[in-house]
């Protein structure tokens, strides 16, 4: 659905302009019907990439494709729904008026707009607030309205720049569920985020950008199965048994009636199990310690 091929972009900065490379030969592809998380620290080039896809700025070199067509044509970009990191809203309008304006700018007919607005407001959790002036909306409500605007013309590809910004935990959960619903409907979602836990929950694949380069790309299944050779033993204990941390194998975290032993390799597993049983405990599970998305993200940036 989306292909970026060897895209480079430089900017001139400072009073005595010097060239700064924002993107350095970036190439990636997003498959049709998947959720792709585009991750990276501030200044990595994520928003620059999104602006090039949308034609807001031009790349110095390289090409961008939407499906089988280059993205530099307006009719091709109609396939995209876009939610910016900091969308601008006319605060004197209501949600309905704002969506009518967006729909007309998208070339939708009056009948299409009238039919879609109630369903979208219901879907993003703004039903009952559609006639309030936008100046009364919270940051999270505006973010929901921005999502409704992105969906209004029924695009094939959704590009979301920090879509969870300003949402409380309930709002983030609802947004995650909405993105997964859109995926089930066959939509393709490409989103940037600083909230790694959300990205790990809903993504099929992730790409990590650092200093304008794609330093890591992997699918969620590979990520979930990746580990560094460490093991974890979870155990329980009951009664008044004393657990001596000094005698425990390597690192141990004790909790109320339970704990976790962290081992550097598999060789010490049986010694650790024996220690638990001799101390009056019961082993619950033995499993490799898998890397989280945060672990991998930090490793790639440090590298």
The mean-pLDDT minimum among 114-123, 155-164, 174-183, 237-246 falls in 237-246
In this prediction, residues 176-183 reach a mean pLDDT of: 94
* CA distance linking residue 59 with residue 280, whole number of Å: 65
How many angstroms separate the Cα of 24 from the Cα of each of 41, 213, 216, 248, 268?
16, 6, 14, 49, 45
In this prediction, residues 228-252 reach a mean pLDDT of: 69
Summarised one tens digit per residue, pLDDT across range 92-127 is 999 999 999 999 998 999 999 999 999 999 999 999
Specify the CATH class of 2-223 in words: alpha beta
pLDDT computed for residue 259 by the predictor: 83
Q: Is the pLDDT of residue 50 over 60?
A: yes
**Predicted TM-score of the model (pTM):** 0.81
In the chain, domain spans: 2-223, 228-291
pLDDT computed for residue 245 by the predictor: 56
Summarised one tens digit per residue, pLDDT across range 52-77 is 999 999 999 999 999 989 998 888 88
């Amino acid at each position: 659905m989306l292909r970026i091929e060897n895209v480079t972009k430089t900017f001139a900065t400072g009073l005595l302009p010097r060239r700064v490379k924002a993107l350095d030969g970036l190439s990636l592809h997003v498959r049709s019907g998947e959720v792709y998380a585009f991750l990276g620290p501030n200044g990595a080039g994520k928003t620059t990439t999104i602006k090039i896809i949308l034609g807001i700025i031009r790349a110095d070199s390289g090409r961008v494709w939407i499906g089988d067509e280059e993205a530099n044509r307006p009719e091709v970009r109609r396939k995209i729904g876009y939610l910016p990191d900091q969308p601008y809203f006319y605060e004197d309008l209501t949600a309905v008026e704002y969506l009518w304006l967006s729909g007309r700018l998208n070339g939708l007919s009056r009948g299409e707009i009238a039919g879609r607005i109630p369903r979208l407001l219901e879907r993003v959790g703004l039903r009952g607030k559609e006639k309030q002036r936008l100046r009364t909306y919270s940051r999270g409500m505006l973010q929901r309205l921005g999502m409704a605007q992105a969906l209004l013309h029924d695009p094939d590809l959704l590009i979301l720049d920090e879509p969870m910004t300003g949402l409380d935990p309930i709002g983030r959960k609802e947004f995650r569920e909405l993105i997964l619903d859109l995926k089930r409907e066959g939509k393709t979602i490409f989103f940037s985020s600083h909230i790694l836990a959300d990205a790990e929950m809903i993504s099929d694949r992730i790409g990590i950008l650092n200093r304008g380069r794609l330093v890591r790309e992997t699918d969620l299944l590979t990520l979930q199965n990746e580990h560094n050779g460490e093991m974890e033993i979870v155990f329980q204990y009951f009664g008044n048994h004393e657990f001596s941390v000094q005698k425990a194998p390597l690192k141990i975290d004790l909790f109320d009636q339970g704990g976790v032993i962290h081992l550097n390799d598999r060789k010490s597993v049986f010694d650790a199990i024996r220690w638990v049983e001799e101390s009056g405990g019961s082993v619950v599970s033995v499993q490799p310690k898998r890397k989280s998305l945060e672990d991998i993200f930090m490793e790639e940036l440090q590298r």
